[in-house]
Amino acid sequence: MQNVSVIKNQKFQSTFLNREVIYDVVLPPNYENLSNLKVLYMNDGQDFDQLKIEQTLNNLYNISEIQPMVFVGLHTNENRLKEYGTASMPDYKNRGNLAGFYQSFIISELFPFVIANYKVSSLSIDNYFCGFSLGGLSAMDLVWGNSNYFSKVGVFSGSFWWRKKAYEDGYDDHNDRIMHVLIRNGNYNEGQKFWLECGTNDENDDRNNNGIIDSIDDTLDLIKELEGKGYKRGQDIEYVEIEGGEHNQKTWSEAMPKFLKWLVEK
């Protein structure tokens, strides 16, 4: 039985973010004999242990269910509400006002660094991103806006409520959810695929009183926008709804094997 190699708390000095970014790397078994590996980048890498990443990867590799890949988990810090979001604009409270800089860090600094220092592929078809909650929104925005770098995204309980207008200022579902509008105004990108998870207990809010919690509503509406661009559910889009699933690392860790098998199944 061969296990992964975990290299924790590596440091990268980012000019765009003007801070040191801590990241973890997980190399697959037999890494020294491999090349042109796929890469999964993950937001909220500080939750590595709670998400049971090492254990999950070992389990999947040892039953030969996934292809070898390099995992890069990016830790966030007190700037999380500023750096995660949508790069083109912040939300109505000016949260995500550094998301453009975070995207520049990923594309212009981290991506070339990983290619130069690890035995990985630079092709978009082999590079992926995932995240949770607001980090999931960030991952979606990064992949959607950079199809020449990334082809697949995994979003766990994504913050697709992210809006440019407050409820009391005349908020409208169709026009004011930022990620939905970005997709509606964007283009179909050949080869892009989307994996989206929600738990039925993600939250209690139901702003339109239709009996469906907002996180599920927002995710299903995002899927409709993707379908409107030409992506097909079951082919390009995978939606996973977990009965009793909550907005926490326990639920997300339980969903992680499903996502990884979808991402790089053998």
pLDDT at residue number 3: 93
Where residue 111 falls among pLDDT bands split at 50, 70, 90?
very high
CA distances from 182 to 94, 208, 226 (A): 17, 22, 10
Above pLDDT 70, what percent of the chain? 100
Where residue 24 falls among pLDDT bands split at 50, 70, 90?
very high
Q: Tell whether the model's pLDDT for residue 2 goes beyond 90.
A: no
Q: How far apart are CA 105 and CA 108, in angstroms?
A: 6
Tell me what the pLDDT averaged over the chain comes to.
97
Where residue 266 falls among pLDDT bands split at 50, 70, 90?
confident
Q: Tell whether the model's pLDDT for residue 17 goes beyond 90.
A: yes
Q: Tell whether the model's pLDDT for residue 209 goes beyond 90.
A: no
pLDDT at residue number 94: 98
The model's pLDDT over 121-139, given as tens digits with 9 standing for 90+, comes to 999 999 999 999 999 999 9
pLDDT at residue number 206: 83
Lowest mean pLDDT among 105-114, 203-212, 215-224: 203-212
Q: How far apart are CA 38 and CA 176, in angstroms?
A: 35
Where residue 68 falls among pLDDT bands split at 50, 70, 90?
very high
Where residue 251 falls among pLDDT bands split at 50, 70, 90?
very high
Q: Tell whether the model's pLDDT for residue 1 goes beyond 80.
A: no
The backbone region for 98, taken as left when phi is positive above 0, alpha when psi lies in -120 to 50, beta otherwise, is alpha
Q: How far apart are CA 56 and CA 49, in angstroms?
A: 11
N-terminal to C-terminal alpha carbon distance within the chain: 18
Mean pLDDT, rounded, for 67-81 = 97
Q: Tell whether the model's pLDDT for residue 18 goes beyond 80.
A: yes
pTM metric for this prediction: 0.97
Q: Tell whether the model's pLDDT for residue 50 goes beyond 90.
A: yes
Mean pLDDT, rounded, for 165-180 = 94
Where residue 243 falls among pLDDT bands split at 50, 70, 90?
very high
pLDDT at residue number 70: 98
Lowest mean pLDDT among 125-129, 165-169, 245-249: 165-169
pLDDT at residue number 105: 98
Orientation of helix 53-62 relative to helix 249-264, angle to 10°: 40
Q: How far apart are CA 132 and CA 63, in angstroms?
A: 26
Lowest mean pLDDT among 6-10, 150-154, 208-212, 249-253: 208-212
Is residue 10 within 8 Å of 19, Cβ to Cβ? Answer: no
**Taking Cα atoms as reference points, which of 168, 171, 183 lies closest to residue 137?**
183
